[in-house]
Amino acid sequence: MDQKKPNPIDIHVGSRIRLRRTMLKISQERLADGLGITFQQVQKYEKGSNRVGASRLQNIATLLDVPVSYFFADAPNGSPLVDGKPVMQEEDAVTAFLMSREGMELNIAFQRVASAKLRQNIVQLVKSLGRPQELDRDRADSDATR
């Protein structure tokens, strides 16, 4: 059986629900209770495997204290395809990262660092960790020219 793939907009809306819920430290169970549904249904919404109806989305927005438009911010808009897959623009990659659990935790922790100098040092550390192969190649090239 060929299983139908979730619509990119449904995936996006679900990820925005998950992002806001986790920002507010609300469990899936608590959100589900507020909506009168099971936490499994919330999971399906967050994965995009089940589409959220308009009235349900309005209820979610009310419970999460955001306007309905929040769920559509930065939504995919028919981006270009390469080999049948959407090309992720840099802005989309940043948004996707910030919507991940790790991205959100890193962002919150980073904001709590009071020292501007220390924040700059953290950025430099992360940048250096993100390019170890490139640095190794540069060192090898410089060693070869000596």
Q: Rounded to whole angstroms, how far apart are CA atoms 83 and 36? A: 42
Nearest to 18 by CA among 58, 53, 70, 54: 70
Helices and strands: H and E segment counts in the chain: 8, 2
pTM for this predicted structure: 0.60
The residue to which tokens 């700059």 are assigned = 120
Helix (H) or strand (E) holding 23: helix 8-23
- The predicted-structure confidence for 111-124, as pLDDT tens digits, reads as follows 899 999 999 999 89
Nearest to 22 by CA among 117, 141, 83, 105: 105
Tell me what the mean pLDDT of segment 100-117 comes to: 87
Report how far Cα 113 is from the mean position of its chain's Cα atoms: 22
pLDDT of residue 103: 83
> So where are the chain's domains?
8-80, 114-146
pLDDT of residue 88: 52
Nearest to 92 by CA among 80, 75, 78: 75
Share above pLDDT 70 across residues of the chain, in percent, rounded to a whole number: 75
Q: Rounded to whole angstroms, how far apart are CA atoms 65 and 141? A: 55
pLDDT band at 102 (very low <50, low <70, confident <90, very high): confident
CATH class of 8-80: mainly alpha
Torsion sign over Cα 37, 41, 43, 44: negative
Tell me what the mean pLDDT of segment 77-89 comes to: 54
pLDDT of residue 2: 46
**Tokens representing 65?**
């204290």
pLDDT of residue 31: 97
- The predicted-structure confidence for 8-58, as pLDDT tens digits, reads as follows 889 889 989 998 998 899 999 999 999 999 999 999 999 999 999 999 999
Q: Rounded to whole angstroms, how far apart are CA atoms 20 and 23? A: 5
pLDDT at 95 over 60: yes
